[in-house]
Amino acid sequence: MKLIRDSLYMTQRHLMALWRQPFWIVFMLVQPVIWLALYGQLFRRVVELPGFHTTSYVSFLMPGVVVTNALFAGGWQGMGIIADLERGIIDRFLLTPVSRPAIIAGRILSLCVGGGVQSLILIGLGFVMGARYGSPWIGLPLLVAASMLMMAAFGALSNAMALMVRKEESVIGASNMLLLPMTFLSPIYMAKALMPEWMQKAAMANPVTWAVESGREALEAAPDWGRVIVRLMTLGAFTVLSLWVATRAFRAYQRSV
Amino acid sequence: MESQAVAAIRAEGLKKTYPGGVKALDGLSFAVAPGTVYALLGPNGAGKSTAVKVLTTLTQADAGEAVVAGLDVRRRGAEVRRMIGCVAQKSGVDANATGRENLRLQGRFYGMRGVELERRIDELLARFRLAEFADKISRTFSGGMQRKLDIAMGLIHRPAVLFLDEPTTGLDPEARSSLWNEISWLAGESGITILLTTHYLEEADKLAGRVGIVDRGRLVAEGTPEGLKSELQGDAVQVEFGEPQKEAAVRAALERVAGIGEIVVESQAVHARAQHGASAAPAILSALDQAGLRAMAVRIARPSLDDVYLHYTGRSFQEADAQLPMAGGKR
Ligand SMILES: Nc1ncnc2c1ncn2[C@@H]1O[C@H](COP(=O)(O)OP(=O)(O)OP(=O)(O)O)[C@@H](O)[C@H]1O
Ligand SMILES: [Mg+2]
């Protein structure tokens, strides 16, 4: 199908550009590695409080860092489409018979591939730092899948916003304002039971929570599969909605040319 | 217009107002015969790019009709896109990819594959003298090379109609004349129809068989570059004599020639305006000869497209351009 083929060609284009700047992949990982190492040390003893189902804070933190990294990787993706808009590349694509959704789909797919590799690196680092789980062989793939859904969802929303505002500064501003609070309004660093009541409520409505909780649950020795599935499905639905928003934004862009 | 029925491009009464009330097109109509080069000439903000965007399906007109390669642009956009190539005003080169990768991706969108695609890429790289740089990241290309890569991408699928929106703007004179050669070659050898927009009178004159002058979203004049120039009051004709002549004799001789006016006689020369200088010259010479007046030299000064522009818009080209300095920047 043309949509799939064109999406793969687009994915290849983005991955090729990424491949040419390997330094950038490393650069992108600096921040999550710092979280893992620094917060891992700083909060080492909070697991002594009730509410954490583990005695190792790194084990608790690692899925959170993977999801946070996915959130940021997705949230900043709109910058790329602004560069392409400014260079006239999007308009050139629109002049060809290329499948329209492939222009967005290629960006999301390449993000999931590149970001997926980052997730694997972070998981590896987590293990080096001592993270251990009851059922890693089922849990880790699901954690990576959840991180990819996060990237797809926030990548789509970021692209949608970029297509609407078309200014790098606005995307930077909005991302800075939204992404960081989202990580604190979720059980990334702190067990949910230990959060203030209102924060727990906010966290329940936060996709970051859905992703990190499904990942952590799936890593337990005896996962509560109901919890995992409900969270993954909610995240999936949110991703589909985000993708729909992105295609709407793209159509709006097309009308404004 | 014999070209109407089979025109490769036909625009009729195109109108488009952008949000904010800018009337970019205000009833633009023109037609381009297959296999010819047509230039839309106009200052910043005249509506040239908007016309190209409508004709290439990138945007829709509010009113009017456009047919490209026999297909209605509004109703059969997808088919139109397969028939046309377009080089937008802004370069669309992916700076992070090599020249070859840019061409390959473009070809794939048209369903080209494998050996056929690679062969076509090599052909175009050679054609535009880019072969040497084919595998270099195009960020390193000069402006002229990027523009050539743009055109090569527009041609990858052998389109029947090619749109070039200000192909040489911003290039240095050397790169410009090199690109002119490529465009002339395309027009001459490949039978493709080319619609070109330009700010440069010289460019329209050099490349296009027909020129349409656009001002404020409508066509104000149209014709061959030569035809447009001869539609002006006429050419300046100047005859020099080897020795002083009697004014009355000179005047009497010239007044017998049809289509001659504004005769000014000096002692050793005469100035006049001729409807069509080139054909009037022999008649002038033979009339002078019959009267026994020996001419040393004849000079015919053709009006430039600059004069034509002035004539139809009431503004000189430079003036019109200066009035809308910001227009080109808005997107
Ligand atoms: N997307 C847009 N939104 C709003 N206004 C626009 C848009 N594109 C063009 N315009 C306006 O429409 C008018 C015509 O613009 P257009 O780009 O067609 O002119 P042009 O003849 O190509 O000019 P130039 O020589 O500067 O390229 C200008 O006033 C321009 O500012
Ligand atoms: Mg323009």
In this prediction the ipTM stands at 0.91
Among residues B38, B2, B45, B58, the alpha carbon closest in space to that of B216 is found at: B45
Query: B146 touching A, CB under 8 A?
Result: no
CB-count burial class (<10 Å; 0-12, 13-18, 19+) for A217: buried
* Mutate: best of B108, B117, B150, partner A, most A CBs <10 A: B108
Residue in chain A closest to B89 (alpha carbons) equals A88
What kind of architecture, by CATH, is found in domain B233-302? Answer: 2-Layer Sandwich (3.30)
Contact A97 B88 (CB under 8 A): no
Residue A62 · residue A126 · CB < 8 Å? yes
Give the span between the Cα atoms of B64 and B219, in whole angstroms: 14
Gap between the Cα atoms of A187 and A68, Å rounded: 11
> Is B88 touching A (CB cutoff 8 A)?
yes
Q: If we measure between CA atoms, which residue out of B102, B207, B118 comes closest to residue A12?
A: B102
Q: Name residues 2-31 of chain A within 8 A of B (Cβ).
A: 5-6, 9, 13, 16-17, 20
The pLDDT value recorded for residue B328 is 37
Question: Which token pair is A3?
Answer: 């949509």
Rg (CA), chain A: 19
CB-based contact B140:B96 (threshold 8 Å)? no
Closest residue to A94, CB basis, from B58, B90, B94: B58
Shortest CA distance to B57 belongs to which of B47, B48, B68? B68
pLDDT of residue B280: 82
The whole-model pTM stands at 0.84
Q: Per-residue pLDDT for chain A (257 aa), expressed as one digit of tens each?
A: 899 999 999 999 999 999 998 787 778 889 899 989 998 888 888 888 888 888 899 999 999 999 999 999 999 999 999 999 999 999 999 999 999 999 999 999 999 999 999 999 999 999 999 999 999 999 999 999 999 999 999 999 999 999 999 999 988 998 889 999 999 999 999 999 899 999 999 999 999 999 999 999 999 999 999 999 999 999 999 999 999 999 999 999 999 98
Angstrom distance (rounded) from CA B45 to CA B40: 13
Angstrom CA distances, A60 to A44, A73, B224, stand at: 10, 21, 77
Cα dist from A150 to A73, A153, A158, A240, B313, whole Å: 9, 5, 12, 11, 58
* Per-residue pLDDT tens digits of chain B, which is 331 residues long: 444 447 899 999 999 999 889 999 999 999 999 999 999 998 888 999 999 999 999 999 999 999 999 999 999 999 999 999 999 999 999 999 999 999 999 999 999 999 999 999 999 999 999 999 999 999 999 999 999 999 999 999 999 999 999 999 888 888 889 899 989 988 887 889 999 999 888 899 899 999 999 999 999 999 998 888 777 667 778 888 888 888 888 888 888 887 887 787 877 888 777 877 778 888 888 888 888 888 888 888 776 666 677 667 666 555 555 544 343 333 3
Q: With residue B26 as reference, give the H or E element that holds it.
A: strand B22-32
Q: How far apart are CA B253 and CA B255, in angstroms?
A: 6
The answer to whether residues A247 and A104 touch, using CB atoms and an 8 Å cutoff, is: yes
Say whether B58 sits in a helix, a strand or coil. coil
Contact A92 B153 (CB under 8 A): yes
- At B189 the pLDDT is 78
- The DSSP-derived string for chain A is -HHHHHHHHHHHHHHHHHHT-HHHHHHHHHHHHHIIIIIHHHTGGGGGSTT-S-S-HHHHHHHHHHHHHHHHHHHTTHHHHHHHHHTTHHHHHHTTT--HHHHHHHHHHHHHHHHHHHHHHHHHHHHHTT---S-HHHHHHHHHHHHHHHHHHHHHHHHHHHHHH--HHHHHHHHHHHHHHHHHTTTTSS-GGGS-HHHHHHHHT-HHHHHHHHHHHHHSSS--HHHHHHHHHHHHHHHHHHHHHHHHHHHHHHHH-
Closest residue by Cα to residue B156 from B100, B72, B206: B100
Give the mutation target among B14, B25, B40, B48 for probing the ligand 1 site: most ligand atoms within 8 A of CB: B48
Structure tokens that stand for B291 in this block = 């009267």
The CATH number for B4-229, chosen from 3.30.365.10, 3.40.640.10, 3.40.50.300, 3.90.1150.10, is 3.40.50.300
Which residues of chain A neighbour B76 with C-beta distances below 8 Å? none
Question: Rounded CA gap, B216 and B203, in Å?
Answer: 21
Quote the tokens at residue A187.
């059980």
The residue whose CA has the least distance to atom 29 of ligand 1 is B45
Rounded to whole angstroms, how far apart are CA atoms A37 and A243? Answer: 34
**What's chain B's length in residues?**
331
Give CA angle at A133 (A132, A136), nearest 5°.
Answer: 115
Cα B93–chain centre separation = 24
CA distances from A30 to A15, A35, A161, B292 (A): 20, 9, 26, 96
Domain ranges of chain B: 4-229, 233-302
CA B95 to chain centre: 29
Could you tell me where the beta strands, DSSP code E, fall in B149-286? Answer: 161-165, 193-198, 210-215, 218-223, 235-241, 260-265, 269-274
User: Residue A211 corresponds to which tokens in the numbers above?
Assistant: 């992703």
**Cα angle value B207/B213/B215 (rounded, 5°):** 140
Nearest ligand to residue B48 Cα: 1
User: Which own/partner contact pairs does B240-244 have at CB distance under 8 Å and 24+ positions apart?
Assistant: B240/B268, B240/B269, B240/B295, B240/B296, B240/B297, B240/B298, B240/B299, B241/B268, B241/B269, B241/B270, B241/B293, B241/B294, B241/B295, B241/B296, B242/B268, B242/B294, B242/B296, B243/B268, B244/B268
- Residue A2 tokens read as 């043309």
